């Protein structure tokens, strides 16, 4: 219980001054830098939480990303880096999904604060010369890792979640 005290105090103060915000996907995030060799493979969309309707809301447009050992990638139906979801009532699966290729790299995509300090959230940047592709956060504590695209405000929990297939 003592380990929960700082978080409870923070949330109590936050409720008084505007609400306790929390990314409902934070427990999925990779907080230790992975090895590049552990990310090589094909990732396929398994879940989206932006709207009801699950994968059927995408109308058959499933996201697929192939990360190659030489640092190249091919991606189909991934969100743009410019995508913004304004509020919970504006939640929607992106209607304009990108299909691109380029180079991938591992780097922090944000942070996770557990009440005792912030840890880096590691992810994959998909660098394409023809479009701004959104970075994908990594999920899991060990291989095989997964990928997650957060859609808009992380506190709303709207995301596209991909699992590694090989």
H or E stretch including 101? strand 98-113
Q: pLDDT category, 128, cuts 50, 70, 90?
A: very high
CA 14 to chain centre: 25
* H helical segments located in 17-165: none
Q: Is the pLDDT of residue 116 over 80?
A: no
Q: Is the pLDDT of residue 114 over 60?
A: yes
pLDDT at res. 82: 64
pLDDT above 70: percentage of residues in the chain = 73
**Average pLDDT, stretch 51-56?**
68
The pLDDT tens digits for 6-20 are 444 444 444 334 445
Q: 142 Cβ partners below 8 Å, 6+ apart? A: none
Vertex 108: Cα angle to 23 and 151 (nearest 5):
40
d(CA 99, CA 80): 10
Answer with the residue of higher pLDDT: 131 or 81.
Answer: 131
């Amino acid at each position: 219980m003592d380990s929960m005290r700082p978080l409870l105090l923070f949330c109590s103060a936050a409720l008084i001054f505007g609400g306790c915000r929390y990314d409902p996907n934070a427990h999925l995030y990779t907080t230790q830098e992975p090895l590049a060799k552990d990310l090589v493979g094909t990732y396929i969309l398994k879940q989206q939480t932006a709207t009801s309707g699950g994968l059927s809301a995408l109308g058959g447009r499933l996201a697929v990303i192939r990360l190659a050992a030489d640092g190249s990638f091919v991606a189909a139906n991934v969100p743009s880096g410019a995508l913004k979801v304004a509020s919970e009532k504006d939640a929607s699966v992106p209607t304009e999904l990108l299909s691109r290729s380029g180079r991938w790299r591992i780097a922090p995509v944000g942070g996770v604060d557990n009440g005792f300090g912030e840890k880096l959230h590691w992810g994959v940047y998909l660098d394409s010369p023809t479009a701004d592709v959104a970075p994908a956060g990594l999920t899991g504590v060990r291989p095989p890792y997964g990928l997650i695209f957060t859609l808009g405000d992380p506190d709303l929990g709207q995301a596209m979640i991909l699992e590694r297939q090989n």
